[in-house]
Structure 1
Amino acid sequence: MSRESTADSYDVIVVGSGAGLVGAYAAASRGLRTLVIEKTEYVGGTTAYSGAGIWLPGNAAEQRAGIEDSPDAARPYLDAIVGEDSAASLREAFLQAGPPLIDELEKNPRFGQFIWQGVPDYFADRPGSLPQGRTIFPQDFDRSELGDLEPLVRRPLWTERWGVDPGSVMIGGQALIGRALLAFMETGNGTVRTNTRLERLIVEDGAVVGIEALSEGERVTFRAGRGVLLAAGGYERNGTLRQRFQPELTDEWTQGCEGNTGDALTAGIDIGAATDLLEESWFAPGLVVPDTRPVFYTSVWSGIWVNAAGQRYMNERLPYDRAGHEMLRAHRSSDVSHLPTHWVFDQRQIDNERAFAALPVAPQVPGWFDVDTFIDAGVLKRADTLEELAQLIGLPAGALTESVEQFNGYARSGKDERFGRGEDPWDLMITHMAGAHTDGPNPCLGVIDKPPFYAATIVLSDLGTKGGLKTDDHARVLRPDGSVITGLYASGNTMAPMSGRIYPGAGGPVGSSMAFSYLAALDMADETP
């Protein structure tokens, strides 16, 4: 039974503790008393699981690496790939916010200097695309620097799933969250409350003036003098909402954090906020594994994907969000099921130890892929011939053999005449990471002819839903008529994305969340970006 409490007052309230922590830091560093509430026991959200790629064109880390880039150079790229799926003013606000945001963070030693690592943009054929990429990353961070704050940071995904020791050094999203949390608390203006769930927004005279939350069984009220920023992720762990907006999918396949059930989204809707693109996610293929959620992996190393008719239907090395969208498009436009998809490969995939371990975002778990364990669990099939494999996975007789033989012809010639696999910078980067599969003319293609043959199951996973509350270029939440809901802001996956239905490059979600959290903080501080 809940107990009532009196209200505490702050200048700024941030709901959610992922990349929105950057906005909390920006507000607190400007002297605004800032409260961050987090629904779960840990700070970091899905960002803490991520590799912490940050896609912000024209930033200082790119310049240090000798990459010629700027907001002006990236504008044609975003315009071409996003089109009418988001307002041009949102894209412009994002582009202009990125460089000064990174400059500001790098002035604080807690954030340190970010590092460019050369991950290609995801749409290589569009104007303004950079084959060397715009993505930057935080430096690793020693866990001990957090002191008493360290237990607050969400554990790595592989620690949560497999119990792997998180180690003494934070990497990727852990490093970004750890750095942001410490910087935020050291402002002297920051407060964090975990195990505190948003219940509703408090509205007076049409303006948001605070929140009501449930904290450790106690109903609490917090007032916000400058505004409330909703940065609490998407609704990917809410089965009811997924069935409503994405009926082909399930909350059981997502990579999103357990707390992401759409509380902030529904709170905004309840007071009349407009929404957009709720049917969208940051999609990613998911490899079905024993005893836990699918593993997000970015691209095949060898083999092909086929649908329920045994037909190959895409370039299996497309960047993960593009691959996920293609899976969904093919499924919706055909009478043949593409969900799940069958990944068919031969013994070469097994023999190359790097083939699984080196794939981006593969589990940091020694021996996580074991053939016998996967076969015993029923998530991997093995057969001496393609005909036998087809029978095991329920494909039409002869269809799988025909698809493999066609692909083998492409591998021998060095050109994928159907889907162009091996022609983009992303394809080649994956090959470099995992090691060449073949001595043939195209290292991204390899003949599938060494028995036994295998079939794994690929489902349509995601890094989180991406539709949300509509905002203007200051991250202020809008009503359906376009008017601003005073005092309410949104960023990250609680916000309808500036990138529309696409994923511009590695770090698009984190970069956008950081940028619009920053813009919200500037607006609450009455500071022009």
Structure 2
Amino acid sequence: MTTNEETYDIVVVGSGGGGLVGAYVAASRGLRTLVIEKTGLAGGTTAYSGAGLWFPGSAPIARAGVEDDVENARAYLRDVVGDSSRERLQDAYLEAGVRLIDELERNPWFQSFVHGPVPDYFASAPGASVAGRTIFPPEIPAAGLGDHARLVRGPLSAERWGVDQGPVLNGGRALIGRALAAFLETGKGTLRVDTALDSLVVEDGRVVGVDAVSDGAPVRFRATRGILLAAGGFERNAELRAKYQPIPLTGEWSNGAPGNTGDALLAGIAAGADTDLLDESWYVPGLVQPDGLPVFQSGLRGGIWVNAAGERFMNEARPYDQAGHEIARLHAETGVSHIPAHWVFDQRQLDRDSFGGPPDQPVRPEWFSSGALRKADTLEELAELIDVPFGTLNRTVEKFNGYARTGVDKQFHRGETPWDRMFHHVIPFPFLPELNYLAKPSPEWPNPILLPLDTPPFYVATIVLSDIGTKGGLKTDENARVLRPDGQAIEGLYAAGNTAAAMSGHVYPGAGTPIGSSLAFAYRAVLDIAGSAT
């Protein structure tokens, strides 16, 4: 046992969105709060994201002039989740989101969140919103954060390829930067990076601290009020994924932060916690890049995906979690490989939308030199490149081209939902300006995301099954208290984000559900710790 010991009111494990916002809420109430972060930078997977928060009925939605009603959102959640055991969690989530945003916006660091027009993912469900219920943090100049900016994890493009981060933090980095500054400037907050959780300290059945390794040395952090585990999922742990998940992914293809290896999950289990949804992930299609690893793929407007048989198998534009789950299901159930799948498109599509970079710019040479993008003069040559039967691929393309001429995808209905149509209408994306080019229409075709594949040369890229994190974890109640298998709470222990089992069960209701859940339940945890939960 270490003799190096420090004491705080609250210890938060993890510095993603939920961890830092929860820590700010605690510190702003005068509680001495420590955040420990395994890596050298704050932000976790949140820093890679657009920082969408699915918060129905929140003030930014009303300010945007969008009619929204929490009761409609409740009906929507009930329908799409379809699990009565999660109804109390849903109610807690809906209540917390409205209150949390009201509280955050009273602090100048958070300024005013903005509504983004991202439709709910299950368009036909009762209570679904076409206008969307997702809000985003405003961007912030790095200079405006001062020294805090250097502690914020870079975007995925910077970490993977060394792309200049630029002078402005947007999306998840803006949320992390703002939350970090607000937390540290309370005067009650401390951040310790390069500090990894080892185990929980349990005395007389109550969790009273954490044992950690900080800069290579053991240290014990005691917490007089409570411990909040918000350290992400176990997506980067191949052993745990093999143990719990049906698709044998190693974590190499994940878009989760590199430190997310399930440390908090294992510590909670060792302390007696129950678990749920460990077989689940926030699955997404991943487009393999020139470095051989995928990036979360969403917003497809052209081309088709085909499996190892050369057959098209889904609406390629459907919401990403649904697409990821369908790839996983078909790969497991049909006897035909869908991992990898092949994204086939033609010169017309390339001319309209470019590939792998900004619009109206040539494809970067490394796409071809690495083999991440391949080119063929004919469909027959392309079929040989990807080792699929030419006859089947040719019939697949002919059928798709017929749909393109009529504008109706009779097979998979691409372009018929509000989500699909978002990518071919002129919709501003103030929160992610790099997506604005997706709004360019193609008026010469009746459905702008069903362009025919008839203009050689043809191209093929690779789609694999990726994720933005696992979504199973410690079982919690409506105040984020971690539960034992008998349903009793473990005193002093709370969990939020992907360390906890998702309130949305097996589905992804709308853009911003994962980060929204992390913030909402971290908030409820702190309110419970502070004695002000309702």
TM range (shorter): over 0.9
Residue of structure 2 equivalent to 1:133:
132
Q: In structure 2, what is the Cα distance between the partners aligned to 1:323 and 1:93?
A: 28
Query: In the alignment, which of 435, 438, 442 is matched to residue 440 of structure 2?
Result: 435
Residues 279-324 of structure 1: CA distance to partner in whole angstroms, max 9, x if unpaired? 1111111111111521212132211111111111110000111110
Q: In structure 2, what is the Cα distance between the partners aligned to 1:378 and 1:156?
A: 25
Deviation at 1:276, TM superposition (A): 0.7
Deviation at 1:358, TM superposition (A): 6.6
Alignment CA distance shift 1:320-1:85 (3 Å): farther
State the one-letter code of the partner of 2:400: F
State the one-letter code of the partner of 2:503: M
Residue of structure 1 equivalent to 2:530:
525
Alignment CA distance shift 1:340-1:12 (3 Å): same
State the one-letter code of the partner of 2:14: G
Residues 25-59 of structure 1: CA distance to partner in whole angstroms, max 9, x if unpaired? 11111111100000000011110111111111100
Q: In structure 2, what is the Cα distance between the partners aligned to 1:518 and 1:292?
A: 38
Q: In structure 2, what is the Cα distance between the partners aligned to 1:149 and 1:169?
A: 13
1:60/1:102 contact within 8 Å kept: yes
Q: In structure 2, what is the Cα distance between the partners aligned to 1:28 and 1:101?
A: 15
2:349/2:451 contact within 8 Å kept: no
Deviation at 1:107, TM superposition (A): 0.3
The worse-fitting range, judged by mean Cα deviation, of 348-357 and 154-163 is: 348-357
Structure 2 unaligned spans of 5+: 426-437
Residue of structure 2 equivalent to 1:10:
8
Deviation at 1:166, TM superposition (A): 1.2
1:348/1:437 contact within 8 Å kept: no
Query: In the alignment, which of 413, 424, 446 is matched to residue 406 of structure 2?
Result: 413
Q: In structure 2, what is the Cα distance between the partners aligned to 1:387 and 1:94?
A: 52
Q: In structure 1, what is the Cα distance between the partners aligned to 2:203 and 2:489?
A: 14
Residue of structure 1 equivalent to 2:457:
452
State the one-letter code of the partner of 1:132: A
The worse-fitting range, judged by mean Cα deviation, of 257-266 and 430-439 is: 430-439
Residue of structure 2 equivalent to 1:175:
174
Q: Summarize the alignment of residues 389-428 of structure 1 with structure 2, pairs less than 5 Å apart.
A: 389-428=382-421
Q: In structure 1, what is the Cα distance between the partners aligned to 2:382 and 2:183?
A: 55
Q: In structure 2, what is the Cα distance between the partners aligned to 1:179 and 1:373?
A: 36
Q: In structure 2, what is the Cα distance between the partners aligned to 1:149 and 1:67?
A: 34
Residue of structure 1 equivalent to 2:80:
81
1:301/1:437 contact within 8 Å kept: no
1:438/1:446 contact within 8 Å kept: no
Q: In structure 2, what is the Cα distance between the partners aligned to 1:138 and 1:354?
A: 29
Q: In structure 2, what is the Cα distance between the partners aligned to 1:480 and 1:75?
A: 28
Q: Percent identity among equivalent residues? A: 59
Deviation at 1:113, TM superposition (A): 0.5
2:235/2:254 contact within 8 Å kept: yes
Residue of structure 1 equivalent to 2:45:
46
Q: In structure 2, what is the Cα distance between the partners aligned to 1:486 and 1:241?
A: 26
State the one-letter code of the partner of 2:387: G
State the TM-score, normalizing by the size of structure 2: 0.95
Q: In structure 2, what is the Cα distance between the partners aligned to 1:337 and 1:131?
A: 34
State the one-letter code of the partner of 1:347: Q
Q: In structure 2, what is the Cα distance between the partners aligned to 1:244 and 1:516?
A: 27
Q: Secondary structure at the match of 1:352?
A: helix
Deviation at 1:145, TM superposition (A): 2.4
Q: Secondary structure at the match of 1:419?
A: coil
Q: Secondary structure at the match of 1:398?
A: helix
1:50/1:173 contact within 8 Å kept: yes
Residue of structure 1 equivalent to 2:371:
378
Alignment CA distance shift 1:220-1:458 (3 Å): same
The worse-fitting range, judged by mean Cα deviation, of 443-452 and 349-358 is: 349-358
State the one-letter code of the partner of 2:307: N
State the one-letter code of the partner of 1:461: S
Q: In structure 2, what is the Cα distance between the partners aligned to 1:51 and 1:140?
A: 11
State the one-letter code of the partner of 1:525: A
State the one-letter code of the partner of 2:282: W
2:379/2:390 contact within 8 Å kept: no
2:60/2:112 contact within 8 Å kept: yes
Deviation at 1:434, TM superposition (A): 4.4
2:198/2:210 contact within 8 Å kept: yes
Q: In structure 1, what is the Cα distance between the partners aligned to 2:468 and 2:189?
A: 28
2:255 aligned with 1:255: yes
Residue of structure 1 equivalent to 2:428:
none
State the one-letter code of the partner of 2:240: L
Residue of structure 1 equivalent to 2:429:
none
1:209/1:487 contact within 8 Å kept: yes
Q: Secondary structure at the match of 2:309?
A: coil
Q: Summarize the alignment of residues 498-509 of structure 1 with structure 2, pairs less than 5 Å apart.
A: 498-509=503-514
Residue of structure 2 equivalent to 1:471:
476
2:378/2:458 contact within 8 Å kept: yes
Deviation at 1:350, TM superposition (A): 1.7
Alignment CA distance shift 1:292-1:313 (3 Å): closer
Q: In structure 1, what is the Cα distance between the partners aligned to 2:210 and 2:467?
A: 30
Deviation at 1:528, TM superposition (A): 2.2
State the one-letter code of the partner of 1:155: G
Residue of structure 2 equivalent to 1:363:
none
Residues 371-402 of structure 1: CA distance to partner in whole angstroms, max 9, x if unpaired? x4222212222211111111110102311000
2:281/2:469 contact within 8 Å kept: yes
1:284/1:462 contact within 8 Å kept: yes
1:301/1:355 contact within 8 Å kept: no
Residue of structure 2 equivalent to 1:281:
281
Q: In structure 1, what is the Cα distance between the partners aligned to 2:363 and 2:482?
A: 45
Residue of structure 2 equivalent to 1:24:
23
Deviation at 1:70, TM superposition (A): 2.7
Q: Secondary structure at the match of 1:10?
A: strand
Q: In structure 1, what is the Cα distance between the partners aligned to 2:362 and 2:498?
A: 30
Q: In structure 2, what is the Cα distance between the partners aligned to 1:445 and 1:145?
A: 44
Structure 1 unaligned spans of 5+: 360-365
State the one-letter code of the partner of 1:352: R
2:382/2:460 contact within 8 Å kept: yes
Residues 485-508 of structure 1: CA distance to partner in whole angstroms, max 9, x if unpaired? 010000000000001111111111
Deviation at 1:271, TM superposition (A): 1.3
Residue of structure 1 equivalent to 2:492:
487
1:300/1:316 contact within 8 Å kept: yes
State the one-letter code of the partner of 1:516: F
Residues 380-429 of structure 1: CA distance to partner in whole angstroms, max 9, x if unpaired? 22211111111110102311000000011111111111111110011111
Q: In structure 2, what is the Cα distance between the partners aligned to 1:207 and 1:66?
A: 47
Q: Summarize the alignment of residues 229-308 of structure 1 with structure 2, pairs less than 5 Å apart.
A: 229-246=228-245, 247-308=247-308
Alignment CA distance shift 1:241-1:368 (3 Å): farther
Deviation at 1:164, TM superposition (A): 1.6
2:515 aligned with 1:510: yes
Q: In structure 1, what is the Cα distance between the partners aligned to 2:197 and 2:334?
A: 41
Q: Secondary structure at the match of 2:400?
A: helix
Alignment CA distance shift 1:124-1:82 (3 Å): same
Q: In structure 2, what is the Cα distance between the partners aligned to 1:490 and 1:33?
A: 19
Alignment CA distance shift 1:406-1:428 (3 Å): same
Deviation at 1:4, TM superposition (A): 3.7
The worse-fitting range, judged by mean Cα deviation, of 141-150 and 429-438 is: 429-438
**What is the count of residue pairs matched by the alignment?**
520
Q: In structure 1, what is the Cα distance between the partners aligned to 2:49 and 2:397?
A: 34
